[in-house]
Amino acid sequence: MKRLFILFVLTAVMIGAATGSTSAAPMKEEVVFGDQSWDSIQFLHRVMGYILEHGYGLRPVYNFSETMPSLIGLERGDNHIVLEVWVEARQEWWDNARSAGKVLGFGKVFPDSPTGLYIPAYLVKGDPDRGIEPLAPDLVSIFDLPRYQHLFTDPEDKSKGRVYNAVSGWAASERYVKKFAGYRVDDKPLEHYFNLFDPGSQTALNAAIRGAHDRGQPIVAYYWEPTPLLGELDMILLKEPDYDEKIFTETCLCQNPSFSVEKAANAKWVHEHVEVVPLLENFHLSLEMTNEVLAWMEAHGNDPQMAALWFLKNNIDFWHSWIDDLEEVSEKVDKALEKEKLP
């Protein structure tokens, strides 16, 4: 008798499934983001994911992988959107994927991203609130460094200053070895005045910069934007000769090229979801805004979803401008945001 009852229940379930008589709500269509390992891309994906979920009815999925698998997945259609393609670092893939018509570009997600040697702003401007005098008021360019060598004394070689280089193995590390051998002041290369110090890891580089900043001490170090660190700390990028592609390729003796950071989407998916094109085209942030959000995110548990909610709640007019012709979409997102709570 028990066996007959079980058979009856299973039959009823199967019939219900076949006839569509179950009461479960239909699953939303997925939009798959090619998530990667750094914080800014995860934050950006969750901002757009929230808008697509609550404004367009698409369910965001964040498919994590390293950069090239993520981009190959975008090309294949396994991923639908990647909001940070660092074009110069992946130039061959970018050119091929677009020329093949498999990937569409939608412009820069934020302005060109600088890299180079940074110093704390208090060295130039001082910081009256902390009782810090401007020790290097004329330190503007990399060629001014020898004049202030004494501020950056290398503790392991007191005859020279110390510059924190990019981590060994990064392309920028070898680049600055070439720069310090090639840039000259008073007919001597910069390497005559300074040792390039390998911090060993990004964590150690961050700790060196943050530690010096907290103590109000001088430091000159390689870094880049956008990042949580530069969102939190006031730093100044030292000038180098204007970027020239030929000079940079041959000798590196000019400003580093700024990376173009582009939004990209799978072409087939876009053709099937043309309603999201205005959002893809208009979606953007400034470097300053991105740095600020990343600093908030780091201070609140490194949760990109919470950072996205914080951004959306505190910049309503700004993100409304991405979809200003779609009042119904913005109203839906606004209603969803009203229910969200932040830490």
Decide if 165 contacts 205 (C-beta within 8 A): no
CATH architecture of the domain formed by 115-250:
3-Layer(aba) Sandwich (3.40)
Task: Kindly give the residue spans of alpha helices, DSSP state H, lying in 134-218.
Answer: 171-182, 190-193, 202-215
Report how far residue 17's alpha carbon sits from residue 15's, in angstroms, rounded to the nearest whole number.
5
pLDDT of the residue at 26: 60
DSSP code string of 55-103: HH--EEEEEE--HHHHHHHHHHTS--EEEEEEGGGGHHHHHHHHHTTSE
Residues 299-328: what's their mean pLDDT? 91
Here the contacts of 149-153 (C-beta below 8 Å, separation 24 or greater) are: 149/193, 149/194, 151/123, 151/218, 152/194, 152/218, 152/219, 152/220
pLDDT of the residue at 38: 85
Confidence of residue 16 (pLDDT cuts 50, 70, 90): very low
pLDDT tens digits, one per residue of 75-132:
999 999 999 998 877 889 999 999 999 999 999 998 878 899 999 999 999 999 999 9
Decide if 112 contacts 259 (C-beta within 8 A): yes
pLDDT tens digits, one per residue of 227-286:
888 888 999 999 999 999 999 999 999 999 888 889 999 999 999 999 999 999 999 998
CATH architecture of the domain formed by 30-112+259-338:
3-Layer(aba) Sandwich (3.40)
Decide if 231 contacts 311 (C-beta within 8 A): no
Report how far residue 89's alpha carbon sits from residue 36's, in angstroms, rounded to the nearest whole number.
15
Could you give the residue range(s) of every CATH 3.40.190.100 domain in the chain? 115-250
The answer, yes or no, to whether residue 25 has pLDDT greater than 90, is no
Q: What is the model's pTM?
A: 0.75
Residue (of 202, 232, 206) closest to 293 by Cα position: 232
The answer, yes or no, to whether residue 312 has pLDDT greater than 60, is yes
The answer, yes or no, to whether residue 9 has pLDDT greater than 80, is no
pLDDT tens digits, one per residue of 164-191:
999 998 888 999 999 999 999 999 999 9
Confidence of residue 340 (pLDDT cuts 50, 70, 90): very high
Could you give the residue range(s) of every CATH 3.40.190.10 domain in the chain? 30-112+259-338
